[in-house]
Structure 1
Amino acid sequence: MRRRRVIRILNISLFLGFVSGSSLLQASPGTDTAKLMEYWYRLTARDCGSGRLASDCSGLILRGIASKQSYLPWDPSPLSQSLEAGGTGIAAGGTSVSYLRKDVEYNGLGMLRFNGFALVPNDFVNEKTQFKIKVLCAFPIDSWTNYRNNSGCGDYQENGNSLGVVEDYCQKLGISNAKAWMEHYDRQTRDPEATKAHRFQCGFDTTRDYFGTYNKADAFNTFVEARKILANDPEEKDDAIHTQSELRIETWPPNKHWRRDWGSQARVKFDAPVASDSDSAKATYLELPIAAFIYESGIDYIDRTTKTFTSRELARDDQRRWVEQDNTWKPIIKIQFPNSIAEDAKFAYYPADQHVQPPVDSRSCDNYIEKIEWDNNYVEPVLGKISSLKVTPTACGRKAGVGKTNVVLAELAIKAAALEPNRKDWNFDNMGSSMRRQLACHLDSPDIAENKPTWSLEPARPYVAHDVIIKLPGDNRCNPH
């Protein structure tokens, strides 16, 4: 690749003057996706537990794509396919994407692409219908990975020439913190050619553990921290906001090979075929975990540019072709990228943007939560005085059911952050898992969900498995000691 609080769907005409306000408030799986995308964007997890990458549960992996071509736009480039799958490029086996999060910001998809798709973080993937992706390496800023070996993670070369410098994983260069990465990057910026630093930077290996306790999750976090330094550096911040971050992910199989033996242990590379793929008894169909097709445009201002009109039409065509392949409907989401680190990205779903209208989902709500308030002096019989979040669901939210836990939690977290941005015991840096478990229990208990005026959720409560918490007696049900 080369360079390049609370969200509510706004009740005003924003796109080219023809989207009516009333059409913006129709609840559907698309409105759910817009909320989830904001939630993932605002989550700033250091890791996802047990040495797992932060990208598994937070942030948005984005890819700008070429649409209206002879090939399917979400399929990987033939040059990105592994050698075992017939790839021939120097970077075979890896595909370039960017990573957008509240602390990893940039103002566009890059490569003169203004539409593309966003992937579902691995922890939110529906494993019955979608496969997971694997992040191979991470670069704080675009690094011309199509010209690097080792799946795009290694040495930058021009016509087989390493140009006197052999790039490698940061860990192999002894770089394990953001300051050291920046010092290495700064050594490259002294060259008059501005892009040399991009090409000669090191990337972090996110597949293996190094340095004893320094694991792959630490490496991904160092990538995030290095990006923060770039974004605040007086000499680099302009380049950083105008240039996307870059990840290489393991190349996935093209759409025509999504019916396969996903459990095969004989597969050498993720995108390579094996004999058992043709065995009807073993082959099943799984999709690339696309959350939404996306396009760049303004949300809180009217954007009538040709770029917006074109990218919207391309996203509509991508959605049409996706559904024609018998894949699960995905929404088109408009993204307003930030123009500085002081701004936030914004996400919006509009029915008029959709080429294919969504399936009916009677449990989707425009808003699941009517209001929330904190009681900082709640006295719990066992735990003593603790903070309690009092949640008043909407009538629709009371009937949402446990299948909507993720999106209800997303709306809850967004509204809680707007209510008290500086709260310490539950925020986007400290979500924990107990609050989600308590919420899921309320949603999965019709008598509580529909008849309890307010739902009480307490960050101090212990995590208890769902099959246990749902059976607790009396007032202890859904709120374990």
Structure 2
Amino acid sequence: MKRQFCIVLFLLLTAGCATHELDRSTIDEPSGQAVGVQGAGTGPEIAAYLTEAYNNVLTMCRNNPSAPSFLCTGVTLRATQHSTQFHFWNPNPASTGVSFSWLRKDAKFSKLVFGYNNGFILYPDFFKPTGKIALAVLCFFPVDGATDHRPDEGCGQYPNRPNSRPCQSQGITTAAHYIAHFNANAGMYGALCGFDVRDELDERGAVAFTEGVKAQGQLPVSAFGTQNEFRVRKWAQNIGQTLPIEAVFYINDTGKVGAQYDQRDFKTQTGIWIPMIKITLPQTAANDARFEFIPADQAISS
């Protein structure tokens, strides 16, 4: 890709809200770099992809009513705690599933779970590179679902709170239904329901996700400081090479140290270089997230 075209592409992608899917297959891989060595893009390209995905407010992918928009838009991220005792991409062996959040122009939040400062980002499933596995998204909570205490891989009923069972099973199928449910259980995340968005639900799952995102956008200002939550089926240990990891990220200088360690560790263990991306989370609903590749912050350049 010519440098001038990269610059023009980035400016176009950051100029406003997109209403189409980015066809990443038309963007050349870095010269002399295979996908297995450098992921599927340079640092500036990945920052541009993430900006596009954040701004791209769609209700479905590829005009397919059975394809929820998280398959091609938004930024699916997992906040992690820096440690030299485990690899960031391995699930907690004691967990029943893996929690992520989903960030898009219409699904904003101002901080990460537990006040964490770094983590990693997944490719949208429709844009994952060849050789990467698909991860199964199970349910979506417009605000944190306290899923560590729920059965059914984190999507079931919170103990002793019947109104926390999956939304559809309670007749909660629209954003308006969810807001009424939230208002009746405000501040009690274990009492809130999650939308079942499993692949086998087809169009019903896609509609449920759209309504869940709408519901997040209608939550009171007091909920803006709480991230939403995806629950993803747990994967095997030590399969970093085939996981659809697009980048590591950080939100501040504290997180930068953890992201630098994770970037090095991922390259050492898998042979794959992925960029460190700085995410600036919106602090009010009027602000938008920003995604930046800063060369000087990278622990390793390739």
Q: Normalising by the residue count of structure 2, what TM-score does the alignment of the two structures yield? A: 0.83
Partner of 2:125: 122
The gaps in structure 1 that reach 5 residues or longer are 9-27, 81-91, 190-194, 231-235, 259-285, 297-307, 359-481
CA distance in 2, matches of 1:221, 1:59: 12
CA distance in 2, matches of 1:328, 1:237: 40
**Quick check: 1:184–1:201 contact (8 Å CA) kept in 2?**
yes
Deviation at 1:132, TM superposition (A): 1.6
**Quick check: 1:60–1:100 contact (8 Å CA) kept in 2?**
yes
Partner of 1:42: 55
Partner of 1:252: 235
Q: Which amino acid aligns with 1:70?
A: Q
Q: Is the aligned partner of 1:338 residue 2:244?
A: no
**Quick check: 2:78–2:120 contact (8 Å CA) kept in 1?**
yes
**Quick check: 1:65–1:74 contact (8 Å CA) kept in 2?**
no
CA distance in 2, matches of 1:327, 1:251: 23
Q: Deviations over 1:235-279 (max 9, x none)?
A: x213x2211011101112222x46xxxxxxxxxxxxxxxxxxxxx
Partner of 1:134: 136
CA distance in 1, matches of 2:271, 2:297: 19
**Quick check: 1:31–1:349 contact (8 Å CA) kept in 2?**
yes
Deviation at 1:326, TM superposition (A): 2.5
Q: Which amino acid aligns with 1:53?
A: P
Deviation at 1:187, TM superposition (A): 1.3
CA distance in 2, matches of 1:289, 1:209: 21
CA distance in 2, matches of 1:170, 1:346: 32
The gaps in structure 2 that reach 5 residues or longer are 1-10, 16-40
The structure with the largest helix share of the pair is 2
Instruction: Choose which of 269, 273, 280 in structure 2 pairs with 1:329.
Output: 273
Q: Is the aligned partner of 1:204 residue 2:195?
A: yes
Instruction: Choose which of 61, 76, 79 in structure 2 pairs with 1:64.
Output: 79
Q: Which amino acid aligns with 2:145?
A: S
Partner of 2:177: 180
CA distance in 2, matches of 1:221, 1:172: 17
Q: Where in structure 1 do 4 or more consecutive aligned residues deviate above 2 Å?
A: 5-8
Alignment of 1:332-481 (within 5 A): 332-358=276-302
**Quick check: 2:158–2:165 contact (8 Å CA) kept in 1?**
no
**Quick check: 1:137–1:248 contact (8 Å CA) kept in 2?**
yes
Q: Normalising by the residue count of structure 1, what TM-score does the alignment of the two structures yield? A: 0.53
**Quick check: 1:209–1:215 contact (8 Å CA) kept in 2?**
no
**Quick check: 2:110–2:282 contact (8 Å CA) kept in 1?**
yes
Q: How large is the Cα RMSD of the aligned pairs?
A: 1.9
Change beyond 3 A, Cα 1:45–1:185: same
Q: Which amino acid aligns with 1:67?
A: H
Q: Which has the larger radius of gyration?
A: 1
Partner of 2:8: none
Counting matched residue pairs gives 264
Q: Is the aligned partner of 1:312 residue 2:256?
A: yes
Deviation at 1:312, TM superposition (A): 0.6
**Quick check: 1:293–1:319 contact (8 Å CA) kept in 2?**
yes
Q: Deviations over 1:315-339 (max 9, x none)?
A: 0000000000024210000011101
**Quick check: 1:287–1:327 contact (8 Å CA) kept in 2?**
no
Deviation at 1:62, TM superposition (A): 0.8
SS in 2 for 1:225: helix
Change beyond 3 A, Cα 1:99–1:292: same
Deviation at 1:228, TM superposition (A): 1.1
**Quick check: 2:136–2:199 contact (8 Å CA) kept in 1?**
no
